[in-house]
Amino acid sequence: MPGKNVKIAIIGFGTIGTGVAKIILKNADHIYHKTSLKLELSHVVDIDVTRQRPVELPGGILHNSLDKVLADKEVEIAVELIGGTTIAYDVVTKLLSAGKHVVTANKALLAERGGEIYPIARKYNRCVAFEASCCGGIPIITALRTGLAANRIEAIYGIVNGTCNYILSEMFSQGKEYATALKEAQSAGFAESDPTLDVDGTDSAHKLAILAMLAFGRQINYPDIAVKGIDEVELADIEYGKEMGYVMKLLAIAEMTNERGDSEAISLRVHPAFISSEEPLAKVSGPFNGVSIFGDAVGHSLYYGRGAGMMPTASAVVADIIEVASGNSQRLFSATPGLGCEGRRGAICPIEEVRSRFYLRLFAVDKPGVFAQIARILGDKQISISACLQHESVRADSVPVVIMTHLARQGDMEQALLELNKLETIKAKPICIHVVTPPDDEA
């Protein structure tokens, strides 16, 4: 069958841009064989046109003029790989206005300013494709929108940040302190020189906003996500958890809940959590990502792979280019609530209303009656203890007491923590970590 030529512009010639160019140059024939699409790199735009990158571009296509791309009527698809939410916003809106479909890996831009961008795409009858924005090479967007389209999605539990997962895995398996594991993640190239957005949970929350929008067919207001990072995680808690059969992961969770009693609401949260070491997600370690999706028909399905890096992310970008060129992305975009057509905003379950099990570590004075005090404060808030662990003291004046609770309302736990903190017999700020059980797979 006759092939279709697809002219592409890459805006932003950094790591991912280099990977995209590599794939298009190396696999163009292969992609043509499988899809009948001839991908052709027409422009690569960057402010730096002199630095050497590990790919050899055809002569004349590298330049620093976005205007040349905007003016080139033959360019159908532009790939935004600048990053950030300001210049990238201007570039994306200019590209859409000039009639280009946009492929992007920019999760921050879509999570924080998608609500501004999608109407512009609609206005110009163009689409925005973003498989690469979540979990690098794992085709999680495709799975949610296509493979699982028949399902009501009930929950997503994801390990979506490779930096954090690498750090937590090293702490868990090698007994390294947080600071050491972070430094190693930086040397190994898994963490940025400024890792703040990774370790404080922001990056995971950006991805969660995008996944939840697709899963539930609702507009998601990014600030509705409750976010806690791993930057205060202590090795001691990982080790106590391990002793009790748990692994700590930074989880991004979106789930339909009826906790408020009245109607369906979406719970959206990113936080460190203990999960049973028997859970499939517990086995996702090192820099890998893993996302569990629970649907009413499919039950539990899990997607695993490299969530970052030059080639895995470029794999997702080029998959999107193919989908846009074939017309499928545009169809999906126009039909998706919150993207190409108006979507209603989902009701949000406030974080205080979330029910979870909890892990508590308290430094309590080692004398009679103290445990009774703790148990009474928890009991008064309807928080029931499921397990308890007390080791020999590491401080002269106090002993660490580790408590696992049954399901409790998060707001009640927060109240209990305030009261525990006021006790004279509690010698340091209590540590409280979620203990999470993904939904049963009853398929």
Q: Where along the sequence are the contacts to its own copies (CB under 8 A)?
A: 1, 19, 23, 27, 30-31, 33-37, 131, 137-139, 142-143, 146-152, 217, 280, 283, 295-306, 309, 311-312, 314-319, 321-323, 326-328, 331, 334-337, 341, 441, 443
Closest CA to 259 of 128, 411, 134: 411
- Give the HSE-up count for residue 409: Cα atoms under 13 Å, Cβ half-sphere: 13
Q: Please name every residue paired with 289 in a beta bridge, in sequence order, or none if there are none.
A: 305
| Interatomic CA distance for residues 370 and 302, integer angstroms | 44
CB of 101 to its own copies, least distance (A): 16
Q: How many CB atoms lie within 10 A of CB 68?
A: 14
Measured from the CB atom, is 137 or 430 closer to its own copies?
137
Measured from the CB atom, is 186 or 326 closer to its own copies?
326
**Contact indicator for 40, 73 with CB cutoff of 8 Å:** no
User: Beta-strand (E) ranges in 211-327?
Assistant: 226-227, 246-257, 265-276, 288-295, 299-306
CB of 181 to its own copies, least distance (A): 20
Name residues whose C-beta falls within 8 Å of residue 324's C-beta, 6 or more positions apart in sequence.
76, 77, 101, 103, 127, 129, 330
| Interatomic CA distance for residues 437 and 273, integer angstroms | 10
**Contact indicator for 169, 300 with CB cutoff of 8 Å:** no
Measured from the CB atom, is 122 or 269 closer to its own copies?
122
Measured from the CB atom, is 139 or 411 closer to its own copies?
139
Query: Per the structure block, which two tokens stand in for 440?
Result: 């049963």
The DSSP secondary structure of 367-433, one letter per residue, reads STTHHHHHHHHHHHTT--EEEEEEPPPSSSSEEEEEEEE-SEEHHHHHHHHHHHHH-TTB-SPPEEE
The single residue listed with the structure tokens 């205007």 is 67
CB of 166 to its own copies, least distance (A): 14
CB of 196 to its own copies, least distance (A): 25
Q: How many CB atoms lie within 10 A of CB 418?
A: 11
CB of 50 to its own copies, least distance (A): 27
**Contact indicator for 405, 417 with CB cutoff of 8 Å:** no
| Interatomic CA distance for residues 141 and 336, integer angstroms | 12
Measured from the CB atom, is 36 or 382 closer to its own copies?
36
Closest CA to 74 of 104, 40, 103, 27: 40
Measured from the CB atom, is 84 or 189 closer to its own copies?
189
Measured from the CB atom, is 92 or 318 closer to its own copies?
318
Of the candidates 22, 100, 176, 207, the residue annotated as catalytic is 207
Measured from the CB atom, is 277 or 425 closer to its own copies?
277
| Interatomic CA distance for residues 227 and 237, integer angstroms | 19
**Contact indicator for 436, 228 with CB cutoff of 8 Å:** no
Q: What SS3 state is found at 343?
A: coil
- Give the HSE-up count for residue 218: Cα atoms under 13 Å, Cβ half-sphere: 23
| Interatomic CA distance for residues 317 and 17, integer angstroms | 9
Q: Which helix (H) or strand (E) holds 199?
A: helix 196-199
CB of 418 to its own copies, least distance (A): 40
CB of 331 to its own copies, least distance (A): 6
CB of 292 to its own copies, least distance (A): 9
CB of 293 to its own copies, least distance (A): 9
Measured from the CB atom, is 83 or 280 closer to its own copies?
280
Main-chain phi, psi angles of 11, to 5 degrees: -110, 110
Annotated active-site residue 367? The verdict is: no
| Interatomic CA distance for residues 215 and 223, integer angstroms | 18
Enumerate the active-site residues.
207
